Structure 1
C-alpha cells in the first residue's frame, strides 16, 4: 500500500487514513449535515466506512485518489477529509473535495486543510489547475474556495440525482500561476518524500 505524505498546516495535520479511523469516518459521512450537498446520502452502516477506507488505500496505490484524514496534531483523530482526485497528469490537472464534521465548523480548519492540500498539489505534484464542483446552495464551501482564489467558471445543471431530485453544480477552477502570485505554496511536510511527486 502506498503511503501518503503527512502535511502540516497552521493548525491541522493531514495524514494517511488508518483502520482505527473507521468509527470517525462513519460518524463523518453518516452525518446528514455533512452529506447534505454531497454526491451521496448519509451512510447507514459501518461497512460503508470499511469499503470506503479500502477504496482510499487503493486510490493512493494507483496515485489517482489522494485522500487525507484531517486531524488536529494534539489529538490525531479524523475530523474530516481532504481529497485530490480526478488526476489528468498529461494536463497537470486534478480536482479537490473536502468534508469536516459539524462539531468543528467555523474554526477555520477546513480552510487550513484545503490550503495545505492545494500547496502540496501545486508544489510537490506540479499541478497547474485544480477544479471543484459545489452545490450552488452550499454557500460556506463556495466562500471557502473563493477565498483561496478559486473562480466560478460555470454552472452544470442537474449534475447529480439524489433523494428523488437533482442538484446543480457550480464549477470552479484555480490556476497555479494565479495562486502562487498571492500565497506561499510550501506546506510543511512531516515526511519529506512523496511517492506521487512528478
Structure 2
C-alpha cells in the first residue's frame, strides 16, 4: 500500500482535497442519487448513516494506504460536487483502480476531465504508479468517453458482471499505462 499524505490539488477551476467527516451530507447527496448510481455497481444509499460509514472508512483507508478519495470542490464556495478515488492498490505491480462521480448540476462543464487529469497526474507522479484500471457500464457513454479522452484504452468486455437494482450490468475494462500518459502529455502518441 502506498504511504498517503494529506494532499490538496488545485486545478484551473477546482480544488481536490481529502474527504473529512464534515463531508458526509455531500457524499450522501452524490451516492444517494439513484440516477448517478445506476451505473455505479451498487444501489443508491438510502440513509445518511451509509455516508457517515463510508467517510469513516475513507478516513481509515488514508491511514492504511488502502484508498485515496479526493473530494472535488469549487474553490470559491467549498461546495463538494463530486469525487475521484484511487483504490485496490497492488504494490508489486504499481497499479490501482479508479472511480469517480459528479453531481448532475455540474456535468457537461469539463469538471470531471479536469479532476481526473489531476488525479491521474498525482497517481503517476507522487504515488509512482505504472497502471490504472477502470470498469465502466457500456451504457454510461459520458464515463467511458472521458476515460478515452484521458488516454485510457479499451481492454476487454465482461457481460453481466454486476447485479444492480434487479438488473444484470455489463462492464467495459479500461487501462492506462504511465507511458501512454507521459507520451500523451508530450504530444507523442507513440507506444
Specify the TM-score bucket, using the shorter chain as the normaliser: over 0.9
Per the alignment, residue 92 of structure 2 pairs with: 90
Per the alignment, residue 189 of structure 2 pairs with: none
Q: Which runs of 5+ in 2 are unaligned?
A: 187-191
Per the alignment, residue 33 of structure 2 pairs with: 31
Change (3 A) 1:3 1:128: closer
Mapped to 2, the partners of 1:169 and 1:60 lie a distance apart of 28
1:43 to 45, 59, 75: 45
Per the alignment, residue 71 of structure 1 pairs with: 73
Secondary structure of the corresponding residue to residue 44 of structure 2 = coil
Please give the TM-score of this superposition, normalised by the length of structure 1: 0.89
In the TM superposition, structure 1's runs of 4+ consecutive aligned residues that sit over 3 Å from their partners are none
Q: Which runs of 5+ in 1 are unaligned?
A: 185-198
Secondary structure of the corresponding residue to residue 90 of structure 1 = coil
2:108 to 100, 106, 109: 106
Mapped to 1, the partners of 2:57 and 2:164 lie a distance apart of 22
Secondary structure of the corresponding residue to residue 44 of structure 1 = coil
Work out whether residues 92 and 129 of structure 1, in 8 Å CA contact, stay in contact via their aligned partners in 2: yes
Mapped to 2, the partners of 1:35 and 1:114 lie a distance apart of 19
- For the aligned residue pairs, the C-alpha RMSD in angstroms reads 1.2
Secondary structure of the corresponding residue to residue 55 of structure 1 = helix
